[in-house]
Structure 1
Amino acid sequence: MKDMPLKGIGKIGLFFLVAIIIAFILLKNLEKPFDSQKWRSEPLQRYEMVNDLIESQILKDKSKTIVVQTLGNPDSKSTTEQEVFIYDIGDPPSFFSSQKEYLLIVFKNQHVEQVTLAIE
């Protein structure tokens, strides 16, 4: 009889482990390869391609002109010490409330120096 509560805890733990694995698989399947046309035409779905865009480094050392040809005009810009293009990537589905993310493209000498995500 003493083992009963432990069996219940084990089942609950197993349930949550399976739920986390399923959630991870589903979220991983949301990622898609970067597609320039889709990026420009479906701005609310950019979150699906943003990781591939960053990891592939296809924008590294590209000029501003090439970036705009590839991604379209930025949603906003920032100029402090360096010029930064900011792109909204949409809101990925989430089980928890997520913070807003943006793609940041940092330029140095008119060419891409860094491509990264920023959280609002």
Structure 2
Amino acid sequence: MKLRLKRKDQIGFTFFLAFVISTSLIWFFEERFNQEIWLSDTTERYKMLDDILENKFLMDKTKQEVILLLGEPDADSNSEDNFLIYRLGKPPSFFESEPQYLLVTFENEKVVKLSKAID
């Protein structure tokens, strides 16, 4: 017994298959946060930004806990500042790309916001 799909079903199946493959490839090549790489190769940090922002594992951590995970912040900030800034490097681009930064914002000594900033 041969299975024959109608033309519309074939097109729908093709789009579904393309979606599954592209989603899998994006997930496979996305860089997960790795503390060792974060601390040793500051130019490659931009690859881990999506994982940091999506998983929010820094939320509700204290400034000391964030510094233990991410190291000392790159930008000058004193103990009264309610934020830490980490350089992420420049992602590859066809045009001149701006340096990116991870901005960690604190309120009541806990992380309340994580965001990407561009110079």
- In the superposition, the TM-score normalised over structure 2's length comes to 0.70
Aligned to 1:40: 39
Alignment of 1:99-110 (within 5 A): 99-110=98-109
Equivalent pairs: percent with the same residue? 40
Structure 1 outlier segments of 4+, above 2 Å = 27-31
What's the C-alpha RMSD, in Å, of the aligned pairs? 2.3
Distance 1:76 1:60, change over 3 A: same
Contact 1:45–1:89 (8 Å) recurs in 2:
yes
- Structure 1 position 31, deviation (Å): 3.4
- Structure 1 position 69, deviation (Å): 0.7
Aligned to 1:5: none
Contact 1:44–1:91 (8 Å) recurs in 2:
yes
Contact 1:40–1:72 (8 Å) recurs in 2:
yes
CA deviations 1:90-111 (Å, max 9, x no partner) are: 1111111112211000011111
CA deviations 1:9-67 (Å, max 9, x no partner) are: xxxxxxxxxxxxxxxxxx98763011111111111110111111111100000011110
Contact 1:102–1:119 (8 Å) recurs in 2:
yes
Contact 1:101–1:117 (8 Å) recurs in 2:
yes
Aligned to 1:85: 84
Aligned to 2:52: 53
Alignment of 1:1-120 (within 5 A): 31-78=30-77, 83-120=82-119
Between 58-67 and 90-99, report the one with greater CA deviation: 90-99
CA deviations 1:67-104 (Å, max 9, x no partner) are: 0010000001447x951100000111111111221100
Contact 1:75–1:88 (8 Å) recurs in 2:
yes
Task: Point out where structure 1 has 5 or more consecutive residues left out of the alignment.
Answer: 1-26
Aligned length: 94
Task: Point out where structure 2 has 5 or more consecutive residues left out of the alignment.
Answer: 1-25
- In the superposition, the TM-score normalised over structure 1's length comes to 0.69
